[in-house]
């Protein structure tokens, strides 16, 4: 995974016009219930965030693309849960993780709408909370508001984390 993140960051550094579309696809995959279990993309998103100041990539389009991709991934996951209900647990790759969906369901039952925001920031919950929200038929608009707000905050957090790490590494390189 580390090689993938490095190769992708190198590509984005060399082809900056692709930064926003790549971030959109990565965030979508990271937030889509089935894909996020197979290919965690957060490392690549942090690596691309490290390029923002170093390469002069504009933060705003990359941030919006990341937020939109993440929100769309959760929207599709919510729809899957709403449409297929408990049968989602029988689908691959979720069938390989039998505890994942029940944990997401318990989390949504306990926290309600804030679970969408909180779940966005915790790996396994990120994959299961939108599905559980759909299964429980959480209000569509309440879900979407929490979904889009949390997606924008999550995208900013990952990208800015990478940017801050890059600044610290640059400072350490000069000092040491």
Domain ranges in the chain are 2-175
Task: Quick: pLDDT tens for 77-110.
Answer: 999 999 998 788 788 777 787 887 788 888 888 9
Task: Quick: pLDDT tens for 41-76.
Answer: 888 899 899 998 888 899 999 999 999 999 999 999
Length of the chain: 176
Task: Quick: pLDDT tens for 116-166.
Answer: 999 999 877 787 899 889 998 999 999 999 999 999 999 999 999 999 998
Q: From CA 72, how far away is CA 148, in angstroms rounded? A: 9
State the virtual CA torsion across 57, 58, 64, 65 in degrees, nearest 10: -30
Contacts of 154 (CB under 8 A, 6+ apart): 66, 67, 70, 120, 121
């Amino acid at each position: 995974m580390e090689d993938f993140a490095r190769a992708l960051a190198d590509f984005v550094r060399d082809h900056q016009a692709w930064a926003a579309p790549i971030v959109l696809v990565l965030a979508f995959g990271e937030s889509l219930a089935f894909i996020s279990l197979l290919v965690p993309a957060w490392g690549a998103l942090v690596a691309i965030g490290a390029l923002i100041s170093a390469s002069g990539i504009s933060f705003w389009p990359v941030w919006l693309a990341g937020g939109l991709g993440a929100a769309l991934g959760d929207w599709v996951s919510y729809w899957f849960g709403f449409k297929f209900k408990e049968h989602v647990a029988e689908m691959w790759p979720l069938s390989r993780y039998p505890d994942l969906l029940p944990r997401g369901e318990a989390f949504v039952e306990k926290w309600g709408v804030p679970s969408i925001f909180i779940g966005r920031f915790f790996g396994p919950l990120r994959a299961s909370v939108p599905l559980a929200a759909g299964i429980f038929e959480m209000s569509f608009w309440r879900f979407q508001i929490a979904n889009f707000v949390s997606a924008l905050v999550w995208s900013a957090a990952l990208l800015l984390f990478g940017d801050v790490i890059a600044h610290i590494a640059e400072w350490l390189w000069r000092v040491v």
